[in-house]
Amino acid sequence: MVSNSGPIILGIEGTAWNLSAAIVDENDVIVESTATYKPPVGGIHPREASQHHADHLGPVITKILSDAHDRGLTTSDIDAIAFSQGPGLGPCLRTVATAARALSLSLNVPLIGVNHCIAHIEVGRWKTDAMDPVVLYVSGANSQVLAYRKERYRVFGETLDIGIGNAFDKFARGAGLQHPGGPKIEELARSATSYVPLPYIVKGMDFSFSGLSTAASVALQTSLLEDVCFSLQENAFAMLVEVTERAVAHTGKDEVLLGGGVGANQRLQEMLDIMCNERGIRFHVPERRFMGDNGSMIAYLGLLMYRQNTFISIKESYAMPNYRPDDTPVTWWQG
């Protein structure tokens, strides 16, 4: 039995490959259910991913409502429906928004449009001791260094082209590895014996991964796959750590939070840990289930926004494929 007088929010995530729905209260995740789209060949196809989400939305929502019922909750306990409004793949976002609207109307509760990037940050602050960190958010489509300043999460540095995860996945596909490539690259890199020189691309506070990924593919003609995987990781992660460290120096903040699917990488965690130790600042890594895309993070940011009455009408609930984190006023901030 869930005993709580605070808000209870149902959240739906489905910006790309993962469809996930959860119900949370302010203390914890009450229930979560996930259906993952795995492309049979190649990378993520937006329309196929959205068809996957459409096929699985019914069962996923039914599952969390039934599990919630087993925990003593009924649909009348749900105070609002939150959904990832963007950024993400248009067809996937539209499918999720449609389900969220239908739920909001049928349960007669408000609708909350959540920024997916900020949800990655807030679930990290919820599930670690991080208070006011510099955030390194690294996923498939996104790579950003952010920090809170004057009612926004400001982007201090970001990729100039593709996200690091997509760069890894693209390289891995070319090397004949199955999607998603990131975990396979990490595994292969462990057996490397030498470093292969590759580009290191940091421009001001921004970085770029497209050229690095292409150069790594070319290097496969003359070098071992394991060595190229290792070198790709070393360069890409050093670029991220350099910019994160400069954001720390600039903002004067004394903690770093890692988020996003690529954050699961042990080598990236190790490099960030070394940098934070050398500077005498704290480093926070959430549990793995809260790093990749998950419904709980959408429900939790929904809960923070619910407390501020940040609701949207059906008319305002359109998909926002290019929704930037710094477009959202952070009304719920408590440092």
CB closer to Fe ion out of 169 and 227: 169
Binding footprint of ligand ATP, residue count (CB under 6 A): 26
Question: If we measure between CA atoms, which residue out of 64, 101, 77, 57 comes closest to residue 9?
Answer: 77
CB closer to Fe ion out of 95 and 139: 139
The dihedral over CA atoms of 263, 12, 31, 136, expressed in degrees to the nearest 10, equals 20
Q: How far is the CB of 231 from Fe ion (least distance, A)?
A: 26
Q: Taking the CA atoms of 294, 296, 297 and 298 in sequence, report the sign of the dihedral they define.
A: positive
Is position 122 an interface residue for Fe ion (rule: CB under 5 A)?
Answer: no
Measured CA distances, 304 to 5, 22, 110, 193, 315 (Å): 15, 15, 14, 48, 22
The amino acid occupying position 21 is A
Out of ligand ATP, Fe ion, none, what residue 259 binds, judged by CB under 5 to 8 A for its kind, is none
Measured CA distances, 155 to 33, 147, 206, 229, 251 (Å): 31, 7, 10, 28, 12
Q: How far is the CB of 309 from ligand ATP (least distance, A)?
A: 27
Q: Of 113, 292, 295, 325, which lies in the binding site for ligand ATP, with binding defined by CB under 6 A? A: 292
Beta strands across the sheet bearing 134-138: 152-158, 143-149, 134-138, 255-259, 282-284
Choices 9-17, 147-155, 248-256, 304-312; region in contact with ligand ATP by CB under 6 A: 9-17
Q: Are 216 and 232 in contact (CB under 8 A)?
A: yes
CB closer to ligand ATP out of 88 and 124: 88
Residue 74 CA to residue 156 CA, distance in Å, equals 43
Q: Are 92 and 50 in contact (CB under 8 A)?
A: yes
Residue 238 CA to residue 232 CA, distance in Å, equals 10
Q: How far is the CB of 202 from ligand ATP (least distance, A)?
A: 19
CB closer to ligand ATP out of 128 and 139: 139
DSSP string, 194-239: S-------EETTEE--HHHHHHHHHHTTTS-HHHHHHHHHHHHHHH
Q: How far is the CB of 6 from ligand ATP (least distance, A)?
A: 27
Q: In what helix (H) or strand (E) does residue 46 lie, and over which residues does it extend?
A: helix 46-70
Q: How far is the CB of 313 from ligand ATP (least distance, A)?
A: 25
Binding footprint of Fe ion, residue count (CB under 5 A): 2
CB closer to ligand ATP out of 113 and 292: 292
Helix, strand and coil in the chain, % to nearest 5: 45, 20, 35
Secondary structure letter of residue 242 according to DSSP = H
The interface mask with ligand ATP, positions 94-133, x = CB under 6 A, is ----------------------x-----------------
Which 169-188 positions form the footprint of ligand ATP (CB under 6 A)? 169, 180-183, 186
CB closer to ligand ATP out of 87 and 133: 87
Q: How far is the CB of 169 from ligand ATP (least distance, A)?
A: 5
Which 235-294 positions form the footprint of Fe ion (CB under 5 A)? 293
Is position 16 an interface residue for ligand ATP (rule: CB under 6 A)?
Answer: yes
| Chain positions contacting Fe ion, by CB under 5 A | 139, 293
| Chain positions contacting ligand ATP, by CB under 6 A | 15-17, 88, 116, 139-142, 163, 165-166, 168-169, 180-183, 186, 260-262, 264-265, 292-293
